[in-house]
Amino acid sequence: MQASSLAVRWAALSDVGLQRVRNEDAFLVEPGLSYAVVADGMGGHNAGDVAARIVIDTIGEVLRQRLPEYGVDARASALRAAVLAANDAVRAAAARDRGLTGMGATVVVANPCADGLIFASVGDSRLYRLRAGRLDQLTHDHTMLQELVDGGMISPEQARRVPFRGMLTRALGVEDEVLVDVGRTDLQPGDLLLMCSDGLTDMVDADELASLLAAPGDVQACAATLVASANAEGGRDNITVVLAAVTDDRSPNAGG
Ligand code: CA
């Protein structure tokens, strides 16, 4: 069967939250190449800011050159290369400026196309897919808490009740070599993708996320609702959300 043509409507919003002075999250959405990036920076002074910005800029540079390539394999290797380049760029910037020593960032990149969704991640920024009311987390958290779950030390149910996921086990900028998770899955008209920083998922649980995402309305309004919900729960961290609504490109709202 010929792959049907899909259209994607994007929306994005980043908010400082209620308790932080600076927003050290960053995002990039390029509808023309159908990809988006969310990065969550960390480090003293303004280093987290700088790290997240370097990650976004570097990934944008690489993907603008490489994403016109066709085929899921080529796109998967483009995303991996872009994230590896971002790690190198953060390391190089920190080596040049002692004030930036120790900076790092998490990242999630998603590239939805008619022949499938490609995604890459390092850290605990997440990608979810809502399909027919069911919310699936497509990325794997690189955190101590997730390692406890993976090792069978605690159940996923117990993990959901832990308010903080603890230290990251992987992030960009920490070491010269970084392991990048790259995944792929199918897409269907009606799917809704959510990319976000932990400032959303630490405040709003998965059941609540699913019901907010499933509510009717346009994606930009939905992004605003997600951010408002995280702030209503305390807004302890910066909150960034990127939404991608997948539609059949014959639908009247496509491309809007
Ligand atoms: Ca964060």
- 11-26 pLDDT, tens digit per residue, is 999 999 999 999 999 9
Q: Do residues 174 and 105 make contact, with C-beta atoms less than 8 angstroms apart?
A: no
Count: domains in the chain: 1
Note the pLDDT of residue 239.
Answer: 98
Host domain of residue 238: 3-247
Distance 83 CA to ligand 1 centre (A): 18
For residue 133, the domain's CATH number is 3.60.40.10
Note the pLDDT of residue 1.
Answer: 39
Distance 201 CA to ligand 1 centre (A): 10
Q: Do residues 192 and 20 make contact, with C-beta atoms less than 8 angstroms apart?
A: no
Maximum mean pLDDT: which of 88-97, 145-154, 243-252: 88-97
Kindly tell me if the per-residue pLDDT of 97 is higher than 80.
yes
pTM above 0.85, yes or no: yes
Distance 8 CA to ligand 1 centre (A): 26
Distance 74 CA to ligand 1 centre (A): 31
| Residue 256 included in any domain | no
Nearest Cα neighbor of 121 from 73, 79, 53, 181 is 181
- Of 71 and 83, more confident: 83
* % of the chain at pLDDT higher than 90: 82
Distance 1 CA to ligand 1 centre (A): 42
Distance 6 CA to ligand 1 centre (A): 32
Distance 202 CA to ligand 1 centre (A): 9
Distance 19 CA to ligand 1 centre (A): 12
Secondary structure in 3-state letters for the chain: CCCCCEEEEEEEEEECCCCCCCCCEEEEEEHHHCEEEEEEEECCCCHHHHHHHHHHHHHHHHHHHHCCCCCHHHHHHHHHHHHHHHHHHHHHHHHHCHHHCCCEEEEEEEEEECCEEEEEEECCCEEEEEECCEEEECCCCCEHHHHHHHCCCCCHHHHHHCCCCCCECCCECCCCCCCCEEEEECCCCCCEEEEECHHHHCCCCHHHHHHHHHCCCCHHHHHHHHHHHHHHCCCCCCEEEEEEEEEECCCCCCCC
**pLDDT, average across residues 83-106:** 96
> Which residues neighbour ligand 1 (ion) by CB within 5 Å?
40, 197-199, 237
Name the pairing type of β-strands 35-42 and 239-248.
Answer: unpaired
| Residue 254 included in any domain | no
Distance 23 CA to ligand 1 centre (A): 9
Kindly tell me if the per-residue pLDDT of 153 is higher than 50.
yes
Give 4's pLDDT tier (boundaries 50, 70, 90): low
243 - beta bridge partners? 11, 194
| Residue 255 included in any domain | no
Distance 208 CA to ligand 1 centre (A): 19
Distance 73 CA to ligand 1 centre (A): 31
Kindly tell me if the per-residue pLDDT of 167 is higher than 90.
no
| Residue 252 included in any domain | no
Distance 25 CA to ligand 1 centre (A): 7
Q: What whole-number distance in Å separates Cα of residue 64 and Cα of residue 58?
A: 10
Note the pLDDT of residue 229.
Answer: 98
Note the pLDDT of residue 163.
Answer: 67
Distance 238 CA to ligand 1 centre (A): 6
Distance 48 CA to ligand 1 centre (A): 10
Give 254's pLDDT tier (boundaries 50, 70, 90): very low
